Protein backbone atom coordinates (compact mmCIF):
# COMPACT_ATOMS: atom_id res chain seq x y z
CA UNK A 1 0.00 0.00 0.00
CA UNK A 2 1.70 3.18 -1.18
CA UNK A 3 1.36 6.43 0.73
CA UNK A 4 0.51 9.60 -1.21
CA UNK A 5 4.14 10.76 -0.82
CA UNK A 6 5.43 7.46 -2.20
CA UNK A 7 3.09 7.76 -5.21
CA UNK A 8 4.35 11.28 -5.93
CA UNK A 9 8.00 10.19 -5.75
CA UNK A 10 7.32 7.11 -7.88
CA UNK A 11 8.78 4.76 -5.29
CA UNK A 12 6.06 2.12 -5.53
CA UNK A 13 6.47 -1.45 -6.71
CA UNK A 14 9.03 -1.96 -9.45
CA UNK A 15 6.79 -4.52 -11.19
CA UNK A 16 9.78 -6.71 -12.00
CA UNK A 17 9.37 -9.36 -9.34
CA UNK A 18 7.05 -11.67 -11.24
CA UNK A 19 9.34 -11.75 -14.28
CA UNK A 20 12.31 -12.77 -12.12
CA UNK A 21 10.14 -15.28 -10.24
CA UNK A 22 9.02 -16.98 -13.46
CA UNK A 23 12.47 -16.89 -15.06
CA UNK A 24 13.89 -18.60 -11.96
CA UNK A 25 11.18 -21.27 -12.05
CA UNK A 26 11.48 -21.90 -15.80
CA UNK A 27 15.27 -22.31 -15.61
CA UNK A 28 14.84 -24.64 -12.62
CA UNK A 29 12.40 -26.80 -14.57
CA UNK A 30 14.67 -26.76 -17.64
CA UNK A 31 17.65 -27.75 -15.50
CA UNK A 32 16.00 -30.93 -14.22
CA UNK A 33 16.15 -32.97 -17.45
CA UNK A 34 19.39 -31.29 -18.52
CA UNK A 35 21.17 -32.22 -15.27
CA UNK A 36 19.78 -35.76 -15.50
CA UNK A 37 21.24 -35.93 -19.03
CA UNK A 38 24.58 -34.64 -17.71
CA UNK A 39 24.66 -37.20 -14.89
CA UNK A 40 23.79 -40.04 -17.28
CA UNK A 41 26.48 -38.86 -19.67
CA UNK A 42 29.07 -38.86 -16.90
CA UNK A 43 28.01 -42.27 -15.56
CA UNK A 44 28.00 -43.84 -19.02
CA UNK A 45 31.51 -42.60 -19.72
CA UNK A 46 33.23 -43.56 -16.48
CA UNK A 47 36.49 -45.16 -17.48
CA UNK A 48 36.20 -44.04 -21.11
CA UNK A 49 39.22 -42.64 -22.87
CA UNK A 50 39.66 -38.95 -23.62
CA UNK A 51 39.03 -39.58 -27.32
CA UNK A 52 35.75 -41.39 -26.61
CA UNK A 53 34.46 -38.60 -24.39
CA UNK A 54 35.56 -35.97 -26.89
CA UNK A 55 33.79 -37.83 -29.71
CA UNK A 56 30.65 -38.11 -27.57
CA UNK A 57 30.64 -34.38 -26.77
CA UNK A 58 31.21 -33.54 -30.44
CA UNK A 59 27.88 -35.07 -31.42
CA UNK A 60 25.46 -32.25 -32.38
CA UNK A 61 22.57 -33.30 -30.11
CA UNK A 62 24.87 -33.78 -27.13
CA UNK A 63 26.55 -30.42 -27.77
CA UNK A 64 23.20 -28.62 -28.03
CA UNK A 65 21.97 -30.19 -24.79
CA UNK A 66 25.21 -29.25 -23.02
CA UNK A 67 24.98 -25.67 -24.31
CA UNK A 68 21.35 -25.50 -23.14
CA UNK A 69 22.46 -26.69 -19.71
CA UNK A 70 25.24 -24.10 -19.59
CA UNK A 71 22.97 -21.22 -20.54
CA UNK A 72 20.07 -22.26 -18.34
CA UNK A 73 22.22 -22.93 -15.29
CA UNK A 74 24.16 -19.66 -15.70
CA UNK A 75 20.91 -17.68 -15.83
CA UNK A 76 19.53 -19.63 -12.87
CA UNK A 77 22.75 -19.09 -10.89
CA UNK A 78 22.79 -15.36 -11.57
CA UNK A 79 19.16 -14.90 -10.51
CA UNK A 80 19.65 -16.98 -7.37
CA UNK A 81 22.80 -15.15 -6.33
CA UNK A 82 21.16 -11.78 -6.95
CA UNK A 83 18.18 -12.73 -4.78
CA UNK A 84 20.50 -13.85 -1.97
CA UNK A 85 22.44 -10.58 -2.19
CA UNK A 86 19.21 -8.54 -2.22
CA UNK A 87 18.00 -10.34 0.89
CA UNK A 88 21.17 -10.43 2.99
CA UNK A 89 23.43 -7.53 1.96
CA UNK A 90 22.13 -4.33 3.47
CA UNK A 91 24.75 -1.77 2.45
CA UNK A 92 23.68 -0.28 -0.90
CA UNK A 93 27.27 0.11 -2.16
CA UNK A 94 28.25 -3.44 -1.25
CA UNK A 95 25.02 -4.73 -2.75
CA UNK A 96 25.70 -3.07 -6.12
CA UNK A 97 29.30 -4.30 -6.20
CA UNK A 98 28.25 -7.83 -5.27
CA UNK A 99 25.50 -7.94 -7.90
CA UNK A 100 27.89 -6.69 -10.59
CA UNK A 101 30.51 -9.24 -9.52
CA UNK A 102 28.04 -12.14 -9.59
CA UNK A 103 26.72 -11.05 -12.98
CA UNK A 104 30.25 -11.01 -14.42
CA UNK A 105 31.04 -14.34 -12.73
CA UNK A 106 27.95 -16.04 -14.16
CA UNK A 107 28.74 -14.58 -17.58
CA UNK A 108 32.36 -15.69 -17.41
CA UNK A 109 31.38 -19.23 -16.44
CA UNK A 110 28.86 -19.37 -19.29
CA UNK A 111 31.32 -17.98 -21.85
CA UNK A 112 34.17 -20.27 -20.81
CA UNK A 113 31.93 -23.33 -20.80
CA UNK A 114 30.37 -22.44 -24.15
CA UNK A 115 33.79 -21.90 -25.72
CA UNK A 116 34.94 -25.26 -24.40
CA UNK A 117 31.99 -27.07 -25.97
CA UNK A 118 32.39 -25.17 -29.25
CA UNK A 119 36.09 -25.99 -29.33
CA UNK A 120 35.31 -29.70 -28.98
CA UNK A 121 32.52 -29.59 -31.56
CA UNK A 122 34.55 -27.66 -34.12
CA UNK A 123 37.58 -29.87 -33.56
CA UNK A 124 40.04 -27.13 -32.67
* Sequence spans of domains, the chain: 16-122
Model confidence band, residue 88 (pLDDT cutoffs 50, 70, 90): very high
CA 56 to centroid of chain Cα atoms: 24
pTM of the model: 0.81
Q: Which CATH class is domain 16-122?
A: mainly alpha
HSE on the CB side for 61, CA within 13 Å?
2
CA 36 to chain CA mean position, Å? 16
Q: Model confidence over 27-53: pLDDT tens digits?
A: 999 999 999 999 999 999 999 999 999
Amino acid sequence: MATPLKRVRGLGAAHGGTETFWRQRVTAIANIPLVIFLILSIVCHIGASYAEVKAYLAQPIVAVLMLALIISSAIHMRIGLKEIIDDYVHSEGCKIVAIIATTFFAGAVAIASTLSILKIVLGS
